[in-house]
Amino acid sequence: MPPLDRCASRGVYDPLLAECRCTAGWAGRHCEVRDARPCNRGGSSELLNFEALCAGDCDEDRALCFCAGTRRFIPHQCSPAVHRRTRLPDGRPAYPALQPNGSWSMANVYFERDPGERHDWRNLEKPPFEWIYGMQAGNPRSPARRQAGHVVPFCSARAGERRRSGCRGGPCPVGTMGEFCEERTRSFCLRDCSGRGTCDAGFCWCNQGWFGVDCSLHTTAGDGTAQLQAIQRAPSLQALQALPSPAQGRSPLRIYVYEMPSEFTTRLLQWSASRPCSARPD
């Protein structure tokens, strides 16, 4: 009989704490609570700031923005200027916000109201919408602005065309690299998951029988539902590095290091946005 999945494939179970360490997008003792971070959310009286917006598809687990219908990452600085009537290629509003009834509306953002200030436009200092998606039938064309050479729509640009697209620069999300952030690269995880798990942008998906923020703890439990029978710590990092302790034998001081909840450790890494040393604010 396969072991019981106490975390519904949304985290790693910790028998010491009798609860799960959940991956981004989930919370609760057994990862049963949805903890989404929609990019375009906002109440009726709450205007959204620039970095919380996504002109495309939002990864609501990690609050990352992608071109509509693709997995091409859109850096926050490339969020385009839009008109109140601007639509994505799939017909949704330019900054789509999902309503409780399942319909889509424009996110609650500020549009200029004074005709002298480009009435019903937003963020005209940002890249024009057509620089990201190209001209779409029915969309109002962005006000004329200075352009240097031919602009290739970012969401359909090919290798070598990014320098001529309307979206430039910016680091990639954790675990990706390349001109369009479409190449996979090795992610950082604590102790590289001790070689006993898979690293997912800071979160360790531990192999069966192992748990802990770095997969350094082991459990043997009969069919997966029996009481914990044995807990063995993996060799300490100090032992693995053969570093002597200057306090050994001379001090009664002992420091106990315990597992911290994932919202204070791995989830911060998974939530980190495509900006150095920062997480996107809600």
Structure tokens at 202: 């800071």
Q: Which residues pair with 34 in a beta bridge?
A: 26
Confidence tier at 1 by pLDDT (50, 70, 90): very low
State the CB neighbour count (10 A cutoff) for residue 261.
Answer: 15
Residue 248 has pLDDT above 90, yes or no: no
3-state secondary structure of 133: helix
Residue 273 burial by Cβ neighbours in a 10 Å radius (0-12, 13-18, 19+): buried
Confidence tier at 10 by pLDDT (50, 70, 90): very high
β 19-22/11-14 pair status: antiparallel
pTM for the full predicted model: 0.78
Contact between 126 and 86 under an 8 Å Cβ cutoff? The reply is no
Give the torsion through C-alpha atoms of 194, 260, 24, 74, to 10 deg: -80
Structure tokens at 203: 């979160």
Highest mean pLDDT among 28-32, 36-40, 46-50, 114-118: 28-32
Contact between 136 and 147 under an 8 Å Cβ cutoff? The reply is no
Percent of all residues in the chain with a pLDDT value above 70, rounded to a whole number = 74
pLDDT at position 227 = 41
User: Mind giving me the DSSP string for 151-211?
Assistant: PBPGGG--TT-GGGBS----PPPTTEESTTS-EE-PPP-GGGGGGSEEEETTEEEEPTTEE
Question: What CA–CA distance (Å, rounded) separates 129 from 18?
Answer: 49
Q: Where are the beta strands (DSSP E) in 25-135?
A: 26-27, 33-34, 57-59, 64-66, 82-83, 96-98, 104-106, 121-122
Question: What confidence tens digit (pLDDT) does each residue in 45-75 have?
Answer: 566 665 678 999 999 998 899 999 999 999 8
Q: Give me the count of residues in the chain.
A: 282
Confidence tier at 237 by pLDDT (50, 70, 90): very low
Question: What confidence tens digit (pLDDT) does each residue in 220-230 have?
Answer: 644 444 444 44
45-54, 72-81, 239-248, range with the lowest pLDDT: 239-248
Q: Which residues pair with 65 in a beta bridge?
A: 58
Residue 19 has pLDDT above 50, yes or no: yes
